[in-house]
Amino acid sequence: MSTTFQNIIGGKRQDAHSGKTFQNINPATGELLGTFPLSDETDVEAAVSAARTAFEHWRLVPAPKRGEILFRVGELLSRYKEDLARIMTREMGKVLKETRGDVQEGIDMAYYMAGEGRRLFGYTVPVELPNKSGMALRDPVGVVACITPWNFPVAIPTWKMFPALIAGNTIVLKPASDTPQSAFRLVEILHEAGIPEGVVNIVFGSGQTVGEALIHHPDVSIISFTGSTESGRHVAVEAAKSLKRVSLEMGGKNAIIVMDDADLELAVEGILWSAYGTTGQRCTACSRLIIHQDVYEKLLTLLIPRIEKLRLGNGLDEASDVGPVINKRQLESIHEYVKIGQSEGASLVIGGKPATEGELSKGFFYQPTLFKDVKPDMRIAKEEIFGPVLSAIKVASFEEAIAVNNDTKYGLSSAIYTQNVNRVQQAVRDITTGILYVNSGTTGAEIQFPFGGTRGTGNGHREAGIAGLDVFTEWKVVYTDYSGKLQKAQIDNQ
């Protein structure tokens, strides 16, 4: 059943100023799910204005009280978890167990940040003069624009909004146009939990119009962006013109290294989950498999039948392992990369085509694909494909494995399978990445740790954990001199 949705601005539901709309489609079936407002600068202006007004009272609400509201958000997300997971599976395709996990990330973040309401630690340290004190505390920054992708439609907005909210900021959320319904429901739940009107606003529309207007709006203090490196670079360049603070979480070309001493059965489990989970459409998905030459053929022999057994299907069907890709454009882009891989001389072992049998023909399904004999400088080994395509690369040594892993313009997640404790320690030292997994796949971040990557994956910020608060707060240092006289630092104590 298709429904018409509206923006939520200042607590009120509103159509786009233009009156235009766009459609929300189920990628597994092609079915129309809903119609959303195609907003423009006027809608952004209204949303930023509502957020700016709300900031003046939200920043004064004691943080423990803000935490109580976030705690209720966590409770409501738990209550509505199944509904939200089904909305998400319908609009972006990943299988139910994964969309339940996506909501769970939001629940975890709500409880974690609710607790921060009674911490938000600053610090005090001694000062150099007598009868004087000093402390550093965190101030909110103002209006935060959250620009989010479609692959984690609930988790990613919560990773941005909850730390921003606990710190006293207000929000304009612009979700991806492929997954507007999950974001809409999330904002409804925030309001049901008691988030005051105007504190969280949602505006639907394109990156080129709504996103741009947010980047350039003088009352937006921070852009918190997750998406492709190409879009993120553009956001950074545009925001730099007004010295706007930008936090970027972008693409990945993540690798699993399998050494000659690895537990190969265990490695196969991690490879399957990391490469084909979410149909390969995770920023942390494994798309490069770096295998020591002594176990190369043996590992592939174990892996191939397991890939063959993966069941493609509608994510709402509990029997499905792998859902569709997000849209036709992405399906075509993946297939283009497969053709590039073949033309570069890689050997296609399995998959390599859109899946069109029976019901699959209605949606955007792609066969789980494996290439072997891939060289590190081939495009399929260098560029983010964002689909179920894995490239197996053979290496002769541990050192070569590390070098191949690090030779990428991205740096989000890496993994190594080995039983050798010395190699583990060397990998911890030498792999340049934001996240490293030992004897596990490249996915599975937990919200209490910093999340983000090096090189083209990010711009030095991290989301989640305590580090996530740094994006949304400004340090303020307060010196109090109770000596009753002018004391000059660096002068009077010489």
Ligand X SMILES: NC(=O)c1ccc[n+]([C@@H]2O[C@H](COP(=O)([O-])OP(=O)(O)OC[C@H]3O[C@@H](n4cnc5c(N)ncnc54)[C@H](O)[C@@H]3O)[C@@H](O)[C@H]2O)c1
Question: Where do contacts with ligand X occur on this chain (CB under 6 A)?
Answer: 147-152, 174, 176, 206-208, 211-212, 215, 226-228, 231, 234-235, 249-252, 283, 384, 386, 412, 457
Which one, 330 or 369, has the nearer CB to ligand X? 330
The distance of closest approach from Cβ of residue 374 to ligand X in the complex, given in angstroms and rounded to an integer, is 20
Q: In whole angstroms, what is the distance from residue 74 CA to residue 374 CA?
A: 45
The distance of closest approach from Cβ of residue 214 to ligand X in the complex, given in angstroms and rounded to an integer, is 7
Which one, 138 or 174, has the nearer CB to ligand X? 174
Q: In whole angstroms, what is the distance from residue 165 CA to residue 18 CA?
A: 30
91 is catalytic: no
Q: Which residues contact 60 (CB under 8 A, 6 or more apart)?
A: none
- From 151, 182, 3, select the one nearest 85 (Cα to Cα): 182
Residue type, 441: G
Q: Which two tokens stand for residue 330?
A: 């992405």
Pairing of strands 286-292, 389-395: parallel
Which one, 120 or 213, has the nearer CB to ligand X? 213
Q: In whole angstroms, what is the distance from residue 56 CA to residue 49 CA?
A: 11
The distance of closest approach from Cβ of residue 238 to ligand X in the complex, given in angstroms and rounded to an integer, is 7
The HSE-up count of residue 382 (CA atoms within 13 Å, CB side) is: 9
The distance of closest approach from Cβ of residue 420 to ligand X in the complex, given in angstroms and rounded to an integer, is 30
Which one, 198 or 280, has the nearer CB to ligand X? 280
Q: In whole angstroms, what is the distance from residue 319 CA to residue 351 CA?
A: 20
Which one, 117 or 434, has the nearer CB to ligand X? 434
Compute the CA torsion angle 133, 134, 137, 141 (nearest 10 deg): 120
The distance of closest approach from Cβ of residue 178 to ligand X in the complex, given in angstroms and rounded to an integer, is 7
Compute the CA torsion angle 316, 322, 326, 330 (nearest 10 deg): -160
Residue 65: Cβ within 10 Å count: 10
Q: In whole angstroms, what is the distance from residue 311 CA to residue 296 CA?
A: 25
Instruction: Name the strand (E) or helix (H) holding 480.
Output: strand 473-481
The distance of closest approach from Cβ of residue 439 to ligand X in the complex, given in angstroms and rounded to an integer, is 23
The CA-atom distances, in angstroms, between 411 and each of 324, 375, 386, 436, 459 are 26, 19, 15, 10, 11
Sheet holding 200-202, edge to edge: 12-14, 7-9, 200-202, 170-174, 143-147, 220-226, 245-249
Out of 98, 105, 116, 249, the active site residue is 249
Q: In whole angstroms, what is the distance from residue 328 CA to residue 303 CA?
A: 28
The distance of closest approach from Cβ of residue 137 to ligand X in the complex, given in angstroms and rounded to an integer, is 28
Which one, 207 or 354, has the nearer CB to ligand X? 207
Q: Which two tokens stand for residue 141?
A: 């920054």
Which one, 306 or 328, has the nearer CB to ligand X? 328
Q: In whole angstroms, what is the distance from residue 428 CA to residue 492 CA?
A: 47
The distance of closest approach from Cβ of residue 74 to ligand X in the complex, given in angstroms and rounded to an integer, is 21
The distance of closest approach from Cβ of residue 100 to ligand X in the complex, given in angstroms and rounded to an integer, is 18
Which one, 67 or 205, has the nearer CB to ligand X? 205
Which one, 408 or 418, has the nearer CB to ligand X? 408
- CB burial of 21-40 (b: ≥16 within 10 Å; e: otherwise) equals bbebbbbbbeeebbbbbbbb
Q: In whole angstroms, what is the distance from residue 374 CA to residue 413 CA?
A: 20
**The tokens 């505390």 sit on which residue?**
137
Instruction: Name the strand (E) or helix (H) holding 291.
Output: strand 286-292
Which 3 state secondary structure label does DSSP give 459?
Answer: coil
Catalytic residues: 249
